[in-house]
Homo-oligomer: A and B are copies of this chain.
Amino acid sequence: MSSFTLADWLLQRLDIGAGGPVYRQLYQLISRAILDGHLEAGTRLPSSRILAGDLAIARNTVIQVYEQLVIEGYANAASGRGTYVEDLSPDRIEGSSDKRRGDGQASAPCPRSGLSPRGQDLIDHVGFSNRQMGAFMPGIPDVAEFPFKAWLRIQNKQWRHGAAQLMSYAPAGGYEPLRHAVSEYLGSVRSVNSTARQVVITTGIHQAVDVATRLLCQIGDVVWIEEPSYWGVRNLVLSSGLKAVPISVDQEGMCPTAQELASPPKLIVVTPSHQYPLGMVMSLARRRMLLEYARQNGCWIIEDDYDSEFRFGRRPLPSLQGLDDAGLVFYAGSFSKTLFPGLRVGFLVVPDDLAMAFAGAVAELYREGQLITQSVLAEFLREGHLTSHIRRVRNLYAERRLGLIAAITRRYGDRLDIVGEHAGLHLVLALPDRVDDRRVTREAIEQGVVVRPLSNYYMKPGGEKKGLLMGYAAVPMPEIDPAFDVLAGVIDTQLDGWHPQGVPLQNS
């Protein structure tokens, strides 16, 4: 722009009448021209009178833009005899190799790096999927059954009365009446011993594990997780600079070997009431062994009781927390499975002497809010809607569970095992080791049926079992057979050399 006439250049670009306020257009064009080096440092800008005349706009507009440019450092008017373009080349970087440029052109290529190794590792192991609905997405309750009417009534009441008191950050531990309601609820249905002050409201198991590792573990400490287990917690632990050690499970739950027991971890994360994802219940003997081991070795335990409300055919065992008299167990749960996942309200029951620290740490680390939602939930619990809702959907899920089992059995008889069907919102359809369950999953999703590959839940390479996690809770009865038929078609193509003898479910 050697023969640069600012007015001409601006006239080509200003769109008076259509391009937004003239003030803003003019400011943006001139500041851009300075940043890009089209207007060189030291250039004197035309007087406001002349530029306004050339552009046929109000002189005041130009004056305001020049003032703004001066305030922001694009120009200076120090001499009082006009407005001059500032030298915008970056401040000299002292102590650094001097690559200062005066020409407004790009400097040497930037050594911009990508993700850090641990960041890349996290991304390589992401288990999250954007598909969150449809047959047979695991871990999802039937939100269509949610008691909308009661919830909306309470929600509108809370918003109309006193919402302004509930719009700031949450106090340490969360909304007091909700802590009371949760403590009472857990005592009655899960034998959890707690006072309201031990209940810390969280957004779910991820936050519970995160705050516990930050408060209880040093970087590099060992955390035992179950093998297989929920990938979300595993990835969170690994991403936090901790060592996750997978401990195999047998029919009684987490089952450490003698060698593993010889190196005690700092923290143990377990799902005693319903192993995730395989569904076995930790035996009482194993529970007491784990508690005793933790006592002797100074380990902490997080009991993830993620869907203990849904159990078919037998009462749940009391919580591990209820058996703990040494203050070692943190009991974590949420309303994701009983109400709806997107609610993001969970709880961590903390040993009494650590309750204040955990409440404070949650407030400090995550700066939570959502008090209106917490107040709605507290009232919802107080009015008994949770209990009646669970009672109602438990029957519904039991029926759908039987429907899915019937579909599987009709097709495969006893040739494929069904695992963990006594509780929760999903079962596992076991597949022979030679089958690539990830491939089955991909192909099923392409055909509109969502399952998850069991092998994704294993951490140790080579030791994974094959299978499919199948959620049934949110699949209405009439959709079960057709969806399973589609899935079975995919499975059959992978059972090479093996042809199903069962009767196709959809063969009209």
Residues of A near any B CB (own CB < 8 A): 31, 35, 68, 71-74, 86, 88-97, 99, 106-108, 110-119, 122-123, 126-128, 130, 132-133, 140, 143-144, 146, 148, 152, 155-156, 159-160, 163-172, 203-207, 214-219, 221, 232, 235-236, 239-241, 257-262, 264, 266, 283-286, 288-289, 291-293, 295-298, 314-315, 317-318, 323, 325-328, 336, 340-344, 354, 357, 360-361, 363-372
Contacts and interface: CB of A to CB of B under 8 A. Distances in A.
Given A164-B144, A285-B88, A288-B90, A261 B95 contact: yes
A204 B367 contact: yes
Given A71-B315, A132-B171, 4 more contacts: A112-B326, A118-B219, A128-B360, A143-B168
A295 B285 CA distance: 59
Q: Which of A128, A164, A166 is most buried by chain B, counting CB atoms within 10 A of its CB?
A: A128
A341 B167 contact: yes
Contacts of A344: 368-370
Contacts of A122: 214-215, 361, 364-365
B342 A169 contact: yes
A58 B109 CA distance: 85
24 contacts: A90-B288, A90-B291, A90-B292, A96-B261, A110-B296, A110-B298, A110-B328, A111-B297, A115-B357, A118-B218, A119-B357, A143-B164, A143-B168, A144-B164, A167-B342, A168-B340, A169-B341, A170-B342, A206-B366, A206-B367, A235-B364, A342-B370, A344-B368, A370-B370
Contacts of A207: 366
A128 B283 CA distance: 42
Contacts of A219: 118, 219, 241
For the complex of A and B, the 8 pairs showing the least CB-CB separation, nearest first, are A342-B369, A95-B258, A91-B289, A119-B215, A73-B284, A167-B340, A132-B168, A94-B258
B144 A236 contact: no
Given A168-B133, A219-B241, A236-B365, A123 B360 contact: yes
Contacts of A286: 91
Nearest to A288: B90
Contact of A73 (B68, B257, B285, B369): B285
B342 A166 contact: yes
Contacts of A343: 167, 369
B128 A367 contact: yes
A336 B371 CA distance: 14
A93 B289 contact: yes
A386 to B, nearest CB: 15
B73 A126 contact: no
B235 A365 contact: yes
B364 A126 contact: yes
B364 A128 contact: yes
B95 A298 contact: no
Given A126-B361, A163-B148, A218 B117 contact: yes
A126 B168 contact: no
A457 to B, nearest CB: 14
A40 to B, nearest CB: 16
Contacts of A90: 285, 288-289, 291-293
Of the candidates A91, A146, A285, the one having the most CB atoms from chain B within 10 angstroms of its own CB is A91
A257 B96 CA distance: 10
Given A342-B370, A357-B115, A296 B96 contact: yes
Contacts of A166: 342
B293 A96 contact: yes
Contacts of A284: 72-74, 86, 88
A23 to B, nearest CB: 10
A344 B366 CA distance: 10
